[in-house]
Amino acid sequence: MSADIQRIERYGNDTCEYLLAIITDEDHASQIELEDGQIAWTSTLRYDRLFRYQDRHTGRIRYTLESIPPEQGGEHQLISLIAEGGRGAEFSELVMFGKRLVTFDDRTGLLCEIRNQNQLVPRQILMTGSGDESFKGFKSEWATLWGDQLIVGSHGKSPAEEWVKLLDGNYGVTSLDWHDRYQRMREALGVGEAGYVIHEAAEWHPYRREWLFFPRKVSTEPFDEPVDERERGANTLVIASEDFSTIRTLSVGERLQDRGISSFKLLPGHPNECIALRSMEISGKTQSYLFCFNLDGEVLQEDLFIGDYKCEGVEIL
């Protein structure tokens, strides 16, 4: 059985309680000074309990989120000593790769295993584009399992960010140019030559043999940062065949202009349902929410507040 199917079948359809791991990307605020005076970079890793309920009479599904108190192991500080351009520990995704929880720094390209809840173990440095043309870390934004491989992608705004990285079980890397695939998604979203799409969340669905992309931002106009922060949040799911030869889009709930999807996962045991992080970032103010929906476009749970920081990766443990 391939790793992607094992991942989606690791819980049965009678499961109603899950343990979540959620990681933050604090951008410039991640830099700290350690007790010995050394400069380092930090991210918060939190654990929460997710409960799924289904009404016996109506069939309606809803979710609740229960925070685990820090004193009970619900919150940990991850410390990185590796940076690029004075920035680091900007972790943008979480994925269970076999028995290993891995995360990705979108500034340095660092790929780490997380062990013992708060220990970072570097395993690979992903480089931008093909990996040959520039000494710059890959801006990792989304990751999922495809067969037995881990596939990591970026937001697709520039040619260098249209490459993806395929990793085997030993973290060996192959770089692939996905320009045509990103372009087909832009066309399906109708942004035109002047507009843009920012991807931070994607999943491969092994049963349906389809790629699911949930863009964080979609715009028919050129990028303008203040406008982007306030108005470009998206609610359109992109569903593509394995080779991207056919693509359709699906609206999920109402569009919230100031919020966008930064990570989502298929729910093991319930592969038509997804949990997602929806984050807001305006003039330095950040907030994150948990949002649940199904692949028919129905909202199963409106936004549940997580905290006043930017969470960019979620995984079901």
What is the SS3 assignment for the chain?
Answer: CCHHHHHHCCCCCCCCEEEEEEEECCHHHHEEECCCCCEEEEEEEEEEEEEEEECCCCCCEEEEEEECCHHHCCEEEEEECCCECCECCCEEEEEEECCEEEEEECCCCEEEEEECCCEEEEEEECECCCCCCCCCECCCCEEEEECCEEEEECCCCCHHHHEEEEECCCCCEEEEECHHHHHHHHHHHCCCCCCEEECCCEEEECCCCEEEECCCEEECCCCCHHHHHHHCECCEEEEEECCCCCEEEEECCCCCCCCEEEEEEEECCEEEEEEEEEEEEECCEEEEEEEEEECCCCEEEEEEEEECCCEEEEEEC
For the stretch 3-42, what's the b/e string if a residue is b when 16 or more beta carbons lie within 10 angstroms of its beta carbon?
A: bbeebbeeeeeeeeebebbbbbbbbeebbeeeeeeeebbb
227: CB partners within 8 A, 6+ apart: 221
Tokens of 106: 């979108």
Instruction: Give the residue carrying structure tokens 């989502």.
Output: 264
Dihedral of the alpha carbons of 277, 283, 284, 287, in degrees to the nearest 10? -30
pLDDT (0 to 100) of residue 304: 95
How far the first Cα of the chain sits from its last, in Å, is: 19
Query: Structure tokens of 311?
Result: 């969470």
pLDDT profile of the chain (317 residues), mean per 10: 94 94 85 89 95 91 94 92 91 95 96 92 96 94 98 96 97 98 97 96 98 97 94 97 98 95 96 96 92 96 92 95
Residues in the chain: 317
Domain total of the chain: 1
At 33 the pLDDT is 86
d(CA 95, CA 21): 10
Whether 277 and 314 have beta carbons less than 8 Å apart is answered as: yes
Report how far apart, in Å, the C-alpha atoms of 202 and of each of 50, 114, 181, 207, 264 are. 21, 21, 13, 15, 7
pLDDT digits (tens, 9 = 90+) for 197-239: 999 999 999 999 999 999 999 999 999 999 999 999 999 999 9
Domain that holds residue 82: 3-316
pLDDT of residue 30: 85
Strand order in the sheet with 110-115: 91-97, 100-105, 110-115, 119-125
- In whole angstroms, what is the distance from residue 163 CA to residue 148 CA? 19
Indicate the residue type of 216. R
What is the pLDDT, as a whole number, of residue 37? 87
pLDDT at 65: 95
Measure the CA–CA gap between 296 and 283, rounded to whole angstroms. 34
Yes or no: say if 106 and 139 are a contact pair by the CB < 8 Å rule.
yes
pLDDT single digits (tens) 81-92: 999 999 998 999
Residue 231, pLDDT score:
94
From CA 273, how far away is CA 286, in angstroms rounded? 26
pLDDT given at position 103: 97
CATH number of the CATH domain containing 124:
2.120.10.100
pLDDT value at residue 80:
93
Provide the pLDDT for residue 4: 95
